[in-house]
């Protein structure tokens, strides 16, 4: 048999089942496919070192330090290469170890997958093999509960009906069982099956399977990573292996997000680089000016070496410049990168550890997928949230339905099963028939599966979908579906007497009110998709009638039914929608045999199309789903998430603008917004929807422009001017505006018919939105959500955006926003997988942003500023010393101090601070959302605070140097008349420096845990201990013993003690003074005061 439809194309592959040539094709050509090895690891043992080093030195900072190191090695520089080589080596090693470890984990994971034993049919025998040895074309045997080792075409199943059940929980989190079918007409004898399969080259899209087959579709393809369920054994032929499987193709990385703090760091780095270069230039220039004076360059006591004399003057100048660069290079600290990375990495654990994020229902806490964005959580200005599953629980309950214009209220269904008796319409024969048709439609038109009670299937599904599984005491019956709406509907129908019993061998069984089993043959399922917003089934009754049932959003159903039926139902739908229910309309159509034949072939052909399958299917669906008659509508309630309103209120109080982006209809979304208090009673709603654009006189575009201008006038121009510096207009005093736009109008705004208007529309739209408290975008396609996020993200001031969602349709906006948050909801794991942070519930967002985000931001901002500050006052004395040593690049500090300053003496306190600091306690942060606004717009890393820290660093550096300079105007500082030399000078300056910067941090610390105490006092003690140790021994293998007993001698001098004390005190005095002078005014500002350790 040839299972394919032959059309030689470049981007398709031919697979010979069982590697047997097909009798009627040309000679068997064993084509080269990749083997079934999964390689997610980046390195091997051999290429780890070169590859990893190459990757690391691609980072600009590392490269800069490498250059400095090389300069030190090549040029005769003041400090030995060790001083910069050691920290660099340390950083590179730590990073390499971390990456190596991660890669080792990946290797382990790979091996686990690759070495997994599988059974392959070879020449009629079953052979055990390692998973990685599977070749394309192998026939693989998979037993129950095993995962598929590669992408397989299902050839044979142990089930009678040639189906098998599969769960893709590990691929997309959907734990429902999906039915897959064997290739029709395959003989039982797999050993001798000569067949070739032609399919497309691998595609990464998890939900598109372009399998070009005469009669094969996605339902025949079993994906690697999915698990076989409820089926004893299957045989399948490998079509995609190894890195070409869908799973592997999908794991290819997402783009990296960079935080605003990192941008600030880079800006500051640039400033410091300028300072560094200008220092080096100044020193080089002055050196040559100084040397030009007679006798200064080469006095008799200090002759140059022959080599120096021979060097070209300009080359000498250049190397002098490089030497100065090297001398001052510590101003840009290597260790800052390490500390920032460590802070982010370790800090993110606090999110995972937080027990407030633990949800007992799903037994899971928060998940951190990236630690790079911790501080960004404290900077969010726009929150884009999905509605269903995010604001609401996605826990659907059938509320009422409306059949043929009569409302059927469904009251307290649990206790009494007589819900249907409450009707407001006449109950006659005709009505009865309509009712039953409606309920049958509900029972048939879905993709729900029945959980087989009592079987072991139940047991292993419990953990995944227990949220959906409601206890059914009368009948042990559970439903599984990818959409909770469907379950609610099926369950609703059950309450009214029609029970869906399950799908077996393509036939659906329902039990009607008379407890008779009705059987329908399922012919086609026209799947739901968010663009079409409806789904249909085509079934055949026992009597041979072919029926099409369709359910979907009102907007997508109404145009496809007879208009006279619409009005009766529309009223109900709209009323339900305003009450916040999700509404669906149900329609049906009877297909004649000819009609069905046309539809059947059309659908089959479209499904097998090699090209543009999507479009063809869509066209076919649209063609089939016409001319239906409307039966009724349903209303399903989706309850709000716990504390949704409180959370939204807190976010708005924190100055964030909340935009709701939903695919739902406007009325439903609007009522949810009211329920969440996003819109309040006083909020003036500005609507921009298809309905408001309907105007007899004007064209849609003109009306749109008119409305935009009108809204712009109201929301932007007439609004009282916001205070300078406060860009957020949130205030209780002002008139609040809410803005509503729908998908169709949005696409008109984004892509107007005339391209020229685009920018005008967009800027008007954006300005309106920015002045509104809340914005609701309804009827959004997933891509439109991302479009909106992108538009806001790129608007003026590039505000920080956050997207939160739970479903696959939110992935695009989660990826687009600066911070993407996934909710571990019911719609699978796609959102969680693509998010940066995942939380179990919406209510956790409040703590995540207001407490964790705020603290992380303050911590990291302080960390960055402090690092620049401490290195500025470290290097400034060394710079000033050049003026006193003939610009000879003589270092002020000993090499050990130069090296250890950033690594040991001052690194731990700031790391502890940046992990533990809580300048305001979490409770206060959560209670006063407004505190979040104090750090808005990167407040602590703007130029003003940066200038403040820089000035502080310069002040202290000057003080350290000149304080000791005046002391050394008489270097006889000991009571025995002996004198101190240059190393004593440097050691005194360094001691003052270490103590001052550590105490400065101690002053900034508002939250002293024992760790802070330990680390701060420990660092100082370590410094003293180290200095004694370093100066206490004549070090072998060291060329110079510069510091021998220098520290001890320094401590024996009273003057040195006195100068150290007074300099430390004097450097910290302005700081203390400022803190006191900025004494708060009133209790409210007290909290604000508490929070900033420095003024603006």
Partner 1 sequence: MMASSYSAKEEDGHHSGSAGLGGAAIRTRKPDNTAFKQQRLPAWQPILTAGTVLPAFFIIGLIFIPIGIGLYVTSNNIKEFEIDYTGTDMSSPCFNCSQSFSWNSTTPCKCVLFFSLDQPFESNVFMYYGLSNFYQNHRRYVKSRDDSQLNGDQRSLKEPSKECEPYRTNENKPIAPCGAIANSMFNDTLDLFYIDPNGTKTQILLIKKGIAWWTDKHVKFRNPGGSNPNLTAAFIETAKPVNWHKPVYELDIDSENNGFINEDFIVWMRTAALPTFRKLYRIIQKKNNMTPTLPRGSYSLEVTYNYPVRSFEGRKRMILSTISWMGGKNPFLGIAYITVGSICFFLGVVLLFIHHKYGNRNNSSDVPN
- Range 280-309, binding partner 1 (CB under 8 A): 295-296, 299-306
Please tell me whether 388 is known to bind a ligand: yes
Please tell me whether 809 is known to bind a ligand: yes
Asked whether position 116 contacts partner 1 by CB under 8 A, the answer is no
Whether 213 contacts 197, CB under 8 Å: yes
- State which of residues 722, 974, 1022, 1028 lies at the interface with partner 1 (CB under 8 A): 974
Please tell me whether 779 is known to bind a ligand: yes
The strand order across the sheet containing 227-229 reads: 174-181, 163-168, 227-229
Binding mask 1006-1035 for partner 1 (x = CB under 8 A): xxxxxxx---------------------x-
Show contacts with partner 1 in window 581-640 (CB under 8 A): none
Please tell me whether 145 is known to bind a ligand: no
Q: How far apart are CA 884 and CA 989, in angstroms?
A: 15
Spell out where 641-769 has E strands.
657-661, 684-688, 737-742
DSSP 8-state assignment for residue 972: B
Q: Name the strand (E) or helix (H) holding 801.
A: strand 801-805
Least Å distance, CB 462 to partner 1, is 6
Asked whether position 888 contacts partner 1 by CB under 8 A, the answer is yes
Which one, 797 or 1036, has the nearer CB to partner 1?
1036
Which one, 207 or 962, has the nearer CB to partner 1?
962
Whether 339 contacts 911, CB under 8 Å: yes
Please tell me whether 1009 is known to bind a ligand: no
Please tell me whether 713 is known to bind a ligand: no
- State which of residues 14, 25, 40, 578 lies at the interface with partner 1 (CB under 8 A): 40
Q: How far apart are CA 84 and CA 637, in angstroms?
A: 65
Structure tokens given for 661 = 């982006």
Could you tell me which residues come within 8 angstroms of residue 809 by beta carbon, excluding any fewer than 6 positions away? 386, 530, 663, 782, 785
- State which of residues 542, 1069, 1095, 1096 lies at the interface with partner 1 (CB under 8 A): 1069
Least Å distance, CB 460 to partner 1, is 5
Please tell me whether 185 is known to bind a ligand: no
- State which of residues 12, 147, 176, 284 lies at the interface with partner 1 (CB under 8 A): 147
Asked whether position 967 contacts partner 1 by CB under 8 A, the answer is yes
Asked whether position 102 contacts partner 1 by CB under 8 A, the answer is yes
Least Å distance, CB 13 to partner 1, is 24
Please tell me whether 328 is known to bind a ligand: no
Concatenated DSSP letters of 65-114:
HHHHHHHHHHS--SS-HHHHHHHHHHHHHHHHHHHHHHHHHHHHHHHHHH
Least Å distance, CB 144 to partner 1, is 11
Q: How far apart are CA 344 and CA 138, in angstroms?
A: 47
Show contacts with partner 1 in window 249-268 (CB under 8 A): 251, 253-254
Binding mask 450-479 for partner 1 (x = CB under 8 A): ------x--xx-xxx---------------
Binding mask 379-418 for partner 1 (x = CB under 8 A): ----------------------------------------
Q: What is the dihedral of CA 435, 438, 439, 440, to 10 degrees?
A: 120
Concatenated DSSP letters of 236-254:
EEEEE-GGGSHHHHHTS-P
Structure tokens given for 974 = 């000991």
Which one, 619 or 1072, has the nearer CB to partner 1?
1072
- Please provide residue 493's backbone torsions phi and psi, each rounded to the nearest 5 degrees: -65, -35
- Long-range contacts of range 1019-1022, CB-CB < 8 Å, 24 or more positions apart? 1019/904, 1019/905, 1019/906, 1019/908, 1019/909, 1020/994, 1020/995, 1022/904, 1022/905
Show contacts with partner 1 in window 227-246 (CB under 8 A): 227
- Nearest residue to 144 (alpha-carbon basis) of 131, 157, 127: 157
Q: What is the dihedral of CA 220, 221, 227, 228, to 10 degrees?
A: 30
Q: Name the strand (E) or helix (H) holding 54.
A: helix 48-57
Least Å distance, CB 845 to partner 1, is 18
Least Å distance, CB 863 to partner 1, is 17
The residue annotated as part of the active site, out of 386, 554, 836, 894, is 386
Which one, 229 or 582, has the nearer CB to partner 1?
229
Please tell me whether 663 is known to bind a ligand: yes
The span of 676-684, 762-770, 945-953, 1044-1052 binding partner 1 (CB under 8 A) equals 1044-1052
Show contacts with partner 1 in window 309-368 (CB under 8 A): 349-350, 352-355, 357-358, 360, 363-365
Asked whether position 99 contacts partner 1 by CB under 8 A, the answer is no
Which one, 602 or 653, has the nearer CB to partner 1?
653
How many chain residues bind partner 1 (CB under 8 A)? 120
- Long-range contacts of range 465-474, CB-CB < 8 Å, 24 or more positions apart? 465/175, 465/176, 465/826, 467/361, 467/362, 467/395, 467/826, 468/826
Show contacts with partner 1 in window 168-227 (CB under 8 A): 169-170, 225, 227
Residue with tokens 């006193």: 884
- State which of residues 139, 1059, 1064, 1092 lies at the interface with partner 1 (CB under 8 A): 1059
Which one, 510 or 935, has the nearer CB to partner 1?
935
Q: What is the dihedral of CA 622, 624, 628, 633, to 10 degrees?
A: -60
Least Å distance, CB 677 to partner 1, is 23
The span of 178-186, 384-392, 809-817, 959-967 binding partner 1 (CB under 8 A) equals 959-967
Strand partners, 167: 177, 227
Asked whether position 970 contacts partner 1 by CB under 8 A, the answer is yes
Asked whether position 143 contacts partner 1 by CB under 8 A, the answer is no
Least Å distance, CB 601 to partner 1, is 40
Asked whether position 976 contacts partner 1 by CB under 8 A, the answer is yes
The span of 475-483, 820-828, 900-908, 975-983 binding partner 1 (CB under 8 A) equals 975-983
Asked whether position 1067 contacts partner 1 by CB under 8 A, the answer is no
Question: Measured in Å, how far apart are the chain's first and last C-alpha atoms?
Answer: 80
Asked whether position 130 contacts partner 1 by CB under 8 A, the answer is no
Q: What angle do CA 749, 752, 753 make, to 5 degrees?
A: 160
Binding mask 828-857 for partner 1 (x = CB under 8 A): -x---x------------------------
386 in active site: yes
The total of other beta-carbon atoms located within 10 Å of residue 267's CB is 13
The overall longest dimension of the chain from CA atoms, in Å, is 124
Which one, 285 or 1055, has the nearer CB to partner 1?
1055
Q: How far apart are CA 618 and CA 628, in angstroms?
A: 17
Least Å distance, CB 372 to partner 1, is 13
Whether 140 contacts 120, CB under 8 Å: yes
Whether 931 contacts 1088, CB under 8 Å: yes
Least Å distance, CB 297 to partner 1, is 10
What's the alpha-carbon Rg for the chain, to the nearest Å? 36
Strand partners, 1069: none
Which one, 947 or 1072, has the nearer CB to partner 1?
1072
Instruction: Determine if residue 426 is left, alpha or beta; phi over 0 gives left, psi from -120 to 50 gives alpha, anything else beta.
Output: beta
Please tell me whether 582 is known to bind a ligand: yes
Question: Which residue ranges make up the annotated binding site?
Answer: 386-388, 486, 528, 551, 582, 662-664, 779, 785, 806, 809-810
Summarize the annotated binding site for ATP as residue ranges: 386-388, 486, 528, 551, 582, 662-664, 779, 785, 809-810
Active site residues: 386
Residues of the binding site for Mg(2+): 386, 388, 806, 810
């Amino acid at each position: 048999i040839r299972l394919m439809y032959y059309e030689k194309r470049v981007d398709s592959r031919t697979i010979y089942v069982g590697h047997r040539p097909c009798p009627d094709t040309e000679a068997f050509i064993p084509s080269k496919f990749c083997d079934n090895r999964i390689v997610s690891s980046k390195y091997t043992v051999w290429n780890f070192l070169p590859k990893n080093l190459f990757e690391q030195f691609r980072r600009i900072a590392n490269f800069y330090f490498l250059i400095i190191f090389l300069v030190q090695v090549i040029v005769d520089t003041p400090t030995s290469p060790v001083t910069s080589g050691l920290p660099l080596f340390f950083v590179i090693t730590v990073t390499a170890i971390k990456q190596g470890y991660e890669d080792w984990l990946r290797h382990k994971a790979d091996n686990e997958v690759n070495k997994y034993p599988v059974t392959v049919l070879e020449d009629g025998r079953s052979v055990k093999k390692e998973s990685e040895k599977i070749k394309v074309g192998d026939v693989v045997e998979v037993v129950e509960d095993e995962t598929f080792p590669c992408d397989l075409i299902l050839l044979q199943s142990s089930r009678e009906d040639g189906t098998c059940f599969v769960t893709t929980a590990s691929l997309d989190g959907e734990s429902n069982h999906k039915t897959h079918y064997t290739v029709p007409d395959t003989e039982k004898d797999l050993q001798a099956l000569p067949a070739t399969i032609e399919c497309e080259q691998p595609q990464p899209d998890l939900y598109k399977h372009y399998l070009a087959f005469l009669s094969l579709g996605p339902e025949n393809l079993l994906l690697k990573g999915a698990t076989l369920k409820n089926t004893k054994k299957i045989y399948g032929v490998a079509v995609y292996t190894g890195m070409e499987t869908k799973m592997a193709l999908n794991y290819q990385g997402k783009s990296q997000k960079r935080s605003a703090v990192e941008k600030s760091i880079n800006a500051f780095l640039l400033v410091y680089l300028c300072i560094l270069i200008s220092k080096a230039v100044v020193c080089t220039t002055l050196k040559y000016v100084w040397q030009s004076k007679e006798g200064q360059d080469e006095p008799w006591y200090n002759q140059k070496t022959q080599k120096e004399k021979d060097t070209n003057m300009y080359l000498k100048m250049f190397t002098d410049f490089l030497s100065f660069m090297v001398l001052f290079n510590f101003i840009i600290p290597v260790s800052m990168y390490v500390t920032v990375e460590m802070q982010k990495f370790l800090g993110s654990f606090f999110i995972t550890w937080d027990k407030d994020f633990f949800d007992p229902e799903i037994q899971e806490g928060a998940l951190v997928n990236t630690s790079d964005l911790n501080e960004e959580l404290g900077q969010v200005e726009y929150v884009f949230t999905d509605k269903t599953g995010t604001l609401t629980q996605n826990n659907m309950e059938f509320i009422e339905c409306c059949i043929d214009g009569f409302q059927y209220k469904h009251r307290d269904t649990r206790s009494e099963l007589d819900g249907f008796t409450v009707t407001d319409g006449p109950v006659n024969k005709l009505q009865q028939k309509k009712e039953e048709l409606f309920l049958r439609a509900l029972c048939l038109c879905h993709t729900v599966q029945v959980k087989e009670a009592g079987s072991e299937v139940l047991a292993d599904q419990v953990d995944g979908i227990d949220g959906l599984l409601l206890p059914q005491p009368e009948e042990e019956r559970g439903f599984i579906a990818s959409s909770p709406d469907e379950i609610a509907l099926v369950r609703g129908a059950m309450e009214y007497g029609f029970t869906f019993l399950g799908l077996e061998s393509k036939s659906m069984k329902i039990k009607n009110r008379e407890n008779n089993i009705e059987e329908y043959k399922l012919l086609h399922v026209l799947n739901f998709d968010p663009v079409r917003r409806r789904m249909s089934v085509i079934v055949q009754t026992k009597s041979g009638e072919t029926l099409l049932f369709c359910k979907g959003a009102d907007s997508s159903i109404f145009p496809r039914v007879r208009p006279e039926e619409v009005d009766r139902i529309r009223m109900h739908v709209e009323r339900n929608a305003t009450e916040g229910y999700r509404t669906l309309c149900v329609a049906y159509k009877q297909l004649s045999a000819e009609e069905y034949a046309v539809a059947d072939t059309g659908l089959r052909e479209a499904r097998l199309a090699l090209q543009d399958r999507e479009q063809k299917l869509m066209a076919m669906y649209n063609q089939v789903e016409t001319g239906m008659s409307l039966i009724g509508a349903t209303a399903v309630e989706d309850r709000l998430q716990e504390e949704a309103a409180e959370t939204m209120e807190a976010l708005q109080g924190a100055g964030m603008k909340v935009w709701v982006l939903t695919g739902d209809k406007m009325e439903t979304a609007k009522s949810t917004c009211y329920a969440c208090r996003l819109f309040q009673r006083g909020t003036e709603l500005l609507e921009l929807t298809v309905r408001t654009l309907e105007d007899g006189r004007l064209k849609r575009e003109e009306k749109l422009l008119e409305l935009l201008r009108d809204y712009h006038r109201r929301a932007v121009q007439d609004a009282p001017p916001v205070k300078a510096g406060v860009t957020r207009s949130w205030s209780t005093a002002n008139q609040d505006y809410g803005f509503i736009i729908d998908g169709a109008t949005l696409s008109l705004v984004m892509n107007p018919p005339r391209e020229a208007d685009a920018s005008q529309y967009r800027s008007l739209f954006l300005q309106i939105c920015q002045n509104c408290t809340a914005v609701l975008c309804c009827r959004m396609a997933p891509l439109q959500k991302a479009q909106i996020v992108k538009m806001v993200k790129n608007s003026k001031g590039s505000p920080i955006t956050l997207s939160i969602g739970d479903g696959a349709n939110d992935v695009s906006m989660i990826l687009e926003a600066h911070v993407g948050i996934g909710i571990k909801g019911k719609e699978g794991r796609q959102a969680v997988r693509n998010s940066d942070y995942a939380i179990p519930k919406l209510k956790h967002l409040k703590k995540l942003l207001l407490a964790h985000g705020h603290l992380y931001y303050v911590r990291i901002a302080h960390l960055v500023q402090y690092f620049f500050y401490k290195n500025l006052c470290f290097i400034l004395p060394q710079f000033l010393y050049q003026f006193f040593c003939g610009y000879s690049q003589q270092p002020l500090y000993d090499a050990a101090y130069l090296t250890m300053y950033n690594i040991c003496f001052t690194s731990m306190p700031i790391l502890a601070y940046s992990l533990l600091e809580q300048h305001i306690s979490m409770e206060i942060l959560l209670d006063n959302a407004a505190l979040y606004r104090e750090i808005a717009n990167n407040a602590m890393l703007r130029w003003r605070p940066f200038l403040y820290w820089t000035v502080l660093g310069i002040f202290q550096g000057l003080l350290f140097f000149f304080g000791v300079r005046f002391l050394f105007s008489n270097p006889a500082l000991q009571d025995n008349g002996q004198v101190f030399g240059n190393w004593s000078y440097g050691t005194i300056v360094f001691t003052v420096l270490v103590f001052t910067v550590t105490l400065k941090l101690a002053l900034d610390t508002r939250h002293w845990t024992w760790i802070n105490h330990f680390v701060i006092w420990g660092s100082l003690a370590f410094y003293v201990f180290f200095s004694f140790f370093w100066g206490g021994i004549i070090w072998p293998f060291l060329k110079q013993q510069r510091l021998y007993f220098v520290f001890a001698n320094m401590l024996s001098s009273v003057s040195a003690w006195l100068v150290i004390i007074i300099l430390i005190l004097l450097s910290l005095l302005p700081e203390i003074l400022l803190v006191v002078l900025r004494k708060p005014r009133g209790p409210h500002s007290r909290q604000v005061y508490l929070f900033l350790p420095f003024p603006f």
